[in-house]
Amino acid sequence: MFNDNVINRFRGLETPFYYYDLDLLRRTLAACSQASGKYGFHVHYAMKANFDGQVLKTIQSYGFGADCVSGNEVLTALKYGFDKNKVVFAGVGKSDKEIKASLDADIFCFNVESVQEMEVINELAAARGKKPRIAIRINPNVDAHTHHYITTGLDENKFGINTWQLNDVAEQLRKSANLEFIGIHFHVGSQITDMEVFKSLCMRINEIQTWFEDRGFTIKVLNAGGGLGVDYYSPDNNNVADFESYFKVFHDFLNVKPGQEVHFELGRVLVAQSSALVSRVLYVKNGQRKNFLVLDAGMTELIRPMLYQAYHQIDNLSRSPENVIDAVKYDVVGPICESTDCFRKDVELPQSYRGDIIAVRTAGAYGQVMASGYNLRDSIQSVYSE
């Protein structure tokens, strides 16, 4: 990602900014497309991970669909050329305004997360003379073995419909004349690296599919969600995820009937490694117990470490990484007036100085999209590989 030409280019740019390696993004998309296409699987990009314009154009060019969790994401997907027949609207709290706009756009499917939502969509569709396709998001109660803030598939989570509510779902489907039920949808969480989790998910999908079929419902789409994780600790060694193993689990263990489609909604794993937050050292504060590198980027540019206690590799691009003789441990912090504004503590780096260029790696997912204007900070810019 960072060769001498790239680093020299950075020296003339105002920081902070997000740097996008579009070649790495394309290699990642190609690997995913090849691995999923082997089994005829359909992949929708989860737009909440990153909706940078250049990123969206690149993803769309590979023929992926779009998984959206707001009305504006739906409209943005259509703006950037995603086929409306590959656009899905998910989310636990769809407003009437968002539902109406998506109905008018004739998108592929609504992933419905409550019985009451089914009632609302049915009513709004009837008023517009529409019959939208819906899939029911069901909580499989599968433990993703990931951070509890990004676990979504347990009974205690707000997402989806719990299995003990399925009789109510069946009853509502039978009386919703303006809804076309096409499938079932699942998502157990994010940043999952244990393939056994996805095997367990397949078992639950098979069980729940049988439940619906036994009651006379036809399942056309099995949506297994996403959640495949990336390597935050070794971004240079593992910059493209193991899509082959991921999709093979679903090929081996999911009970797919003739004519059924299998859908996925991958976000982080497609974009995370392709970007880094690039910053400069404003000040070096040396103390008796702690040394601080104060950067010109902070939680307003990348909040994941503060929100999720997330790990990101941090590199000093101005100093040779092989120069370990003068290595110093620093708390790498930002300029925001919050004590939590710290990227990492006790980061071992070459001795660093004011003006050094720092890269916070694997920042392409849930970085730029979660940026804020707190402290009236300037909006962050994006820089792309040449």
In a shared domain, residues 257 and 346: no
In a shared domain, residues 231 and 325: no
Report the domain count for the chain: 2
In a shared domain, residues 252 and 283: no
Token pair, residue 79, equals 């703006």
Q: What is the DSSP letter of 190?
A: S
Last residue of one domain, picked from the residues 272, 297, 316: 272
Cβ atoms 50, 71 nearer than 8 A: no
Alpha helices in the chain (DSSP H): 4-11, 22-37, 53-61, 71-79, 96-104, 115-128, 166-174, 195-214, 243-253, 268-271, 304-308
Last residue of one domain, picked from the residues 244, 272, 300: 272
Alpha-carbon gap, residue 161 to 157, rounded angstroms: 10
In a shared domain, residues 189 and 291: no
In a shared domain, residues 145 and 83: yes
In a shared domain, residues 214 and 357: no
- The DSSP bridge partners found for residue 359 are 278, 315
Chain segment 303-321, per-residue pLDDT in tens: 999 998 999 999 999 997 7
User: 150: Cβ–Cβ under 8 A, 6 or more apart, which residues?
Assistant: 144, 189, 190, 191, 308
Chain segment 190-227, per-residue pLDDT in tens: 999 999 999 999 999 999 999 999 999 999 999 999 99
What is the per-residue pLDDT for 153? 40
> What is the residue range of 358's domain?
4-16+275-384
- Tokens 């997402």 map to which residue? 159
In a shared domain, residues 230 and 323: no
Cβ atoms 102, 89 nearer than 8 A: yes
Give the CATH number of the domain where residue 297 resides.
Answer: 2.40.37.10
User: 218: Cβ–Cβ under 8 A, 6 or more apart, which residues?
Assistant: none
Give the CATH number of the domain where residue 98 resides.
Answer: 3.20.20.10
Q: pLDDT in tens for each of the 386 residues of the chain? A: 999 999 999 999 999 999 999 999 999 999 999 999 999 999 999 999 999 999 999 999 999 999 999 999 999 999 999 999 999 999 999 999 999 999 999 999 999 999 999 999 999 999 999 999 999 999 987 765 554 444 444 455 677 999 999 999 999 999 999 999 999 999 998 999 999 999 999 999 999 999 999 999 999 999 999 999 999 999 999 999 999 999 999 999 999 999 999 999 999 999 999 999 999 999 999 988 999 999 999 999 999 999 989 999 999 999 977 655 678 999 999 999 999 999 999 999 999 999 999 999 999 999 999 999 999 999 999 999 97
In a shared domain, residues 120 and 252: yes
- From the list 352, 317, 378, 293, the residue with the least C-alpha distance to 9 is 317
What does the DSSP assignment read for 118-141? HHHHHHHHHHHT---EEEEEEE--
In a shared domain, residues 67 and 145: yes
In a shared domain, residues 120 and 266: yes
- Return the SS3 of 36: helix
Last residue of one domain, picked from the residues 230, 250, 272: 272
232, amino acid identity? Y
In a shared domain, residues 175 and 303: no
List the Cα angle 45/360/364 in 5-degree steps. 10
What is the per-residue pLDDT for 323? 57
Gyration radius from the chain CA atoms: 22
251 exposed, middle or buried (CB, 10 Å; 0-12, 13-18, 19+)? middle
Find the largest Cα–Cα distance for the chain.
73
In a shared domain, residues 208 and 134: yes
Q: What percent of the chain has pLDDT over 90?
A: 90
Cβ atoms 64, 43 nearer than 8 A: yes
List the Cα angle 151/155/161 in 5-degree steps. 100
